[in-house]
Every structure is written in C-alpha cells, then in structure tokens.
Amino acid sequence: MQLVLNLISAFVTGYTILILVRCLLSWFSGPQYGRPMEIIHQLTDPYLNWFRRFSFLRAGAIDFSPIAAIGVLSLVNTIVQMLARFGTIRFGLIGAVLLSILWSVLSFLCGFCAIVVALSLIAYFSGRNLYSPFWNLVESASRPILYRINRLLFRDRMVQYRTSMFIALGLSVGILVLGHFGVGLLSSMLMQLPF
C-alpha cells in the first residue's frame, strides 16, 4: 500500500512540475517548441480547463487558474504523503494545509492586486503615457480589480477613480497584513487538534 501511495505522490509531483513548465513556456510562445509543447498542452489543459471556468481567477488578460490548480495538487499530495507516512489522516493537519494553500492563493492575489493598483496610482499621478504596452497591461489588469472591489463595497454608487484605487490598495494591503497573522494562528490551532 505504501508503494502505491508513494507512486501517486510522485505522479502528482511530476504533474505539478509539468504544469509549471507549461506556464513558463506560455510566456515564450513560438514555433520553436513544436510537438513537445503540443504534448504538454494535451496533458495539462484538461485539468487546467476545469479551473479556467471560474471567472474570479482572471484579472483582465492575466489568468490565475494555474495557481489554484497547483494548490489543489499540493493538497492531494499532502494527503497522500500523510497516508503513506502515518497510515491515517489527521483532519486537523489537512485543515491546516488547506488553510495554508488557500491563504497562499489569496495572499498572492492580494499582493498582485496591490502591485497593479500601486502601478495604476503611479501612472495616474505622474501622467504617464497610458498607451504604451506596459501601461495598457497595467490598466487592463486594474480595471476588473477596481470594478469588483467597488461593486463589493459600494454596490451601485459611483466612486471616483482615484478614491477607488486608494481603497483597493488599502484593502489589499490590509488583507495581507491581517491574514498573515490570522492564518498563522488558526493553522497552529488546527495542527494541535488530536484527530
């Protein structure tokens, strides 16, 4: 039984690495990859497409679904390794690992939001040329973030663009700071559960 669990763990680890390779190579697309890239797409896209269905994992042209997909694989790998090592599953430890994975994804998204909104604020106050490719990318990533935060906090009220940027930046940084301490405390409490 332990051999089977170790093989499953090795498969999950290998598949995670394959998804990482696919993500990295997608930044440098071109005909030089040819058939190897097609094979990687055929192996990883069915799994990744399941996560791409969720619109909240996209911000403009940027897709965060691979992060969620890797988080799920990490959780599965932790459970399999726990079974292989201890022969049992401790739900407190699984809860702590799940919380840690969810926090990793959320903190990455909040950090990304904070950076994008900070760059938007820099562009707004410095009068940068927003028609350059870099600022277009920043703008296309910041608009959905600002829209969602405004809808969440203000419903149908209109808010000034500058005000919404400051609120989004403050909210992102606040979640990062409070979440860091709260998740650490909650994880340690979950890991101490006897079951």
Give residues with Cβ within 8 angstroms of 61, minimum separation 6: 137, 140, 141
Q: DSSP secondary structure string, 77-130?
A: HHHHHHHHHHSS--HHHHHHHHHHHHHHHHHHHHHHHHHHHHHHHHHHHHT--T
Domain residue ranges of the chain, discontinuous segments joined by + = 1-89, 103-195
Amino acid, single-letter form, for residue 149: I
Q: Please name the amino acid found at residue 189.
A: M
List, for residues 88-117, the tens digit of each pLDDT value: 777 887 888 888 888 887 898 889 889 999
Summarize pLDDT for 6-58 with one digit per residue, the tens. Answer: 889 899 999 999 999 888 887 776 566 677 888 888 999 999 999 988 887 77
Give the residue carrying structure tokens 């690495």: 17
- pTM metric for this prediction: 0.67
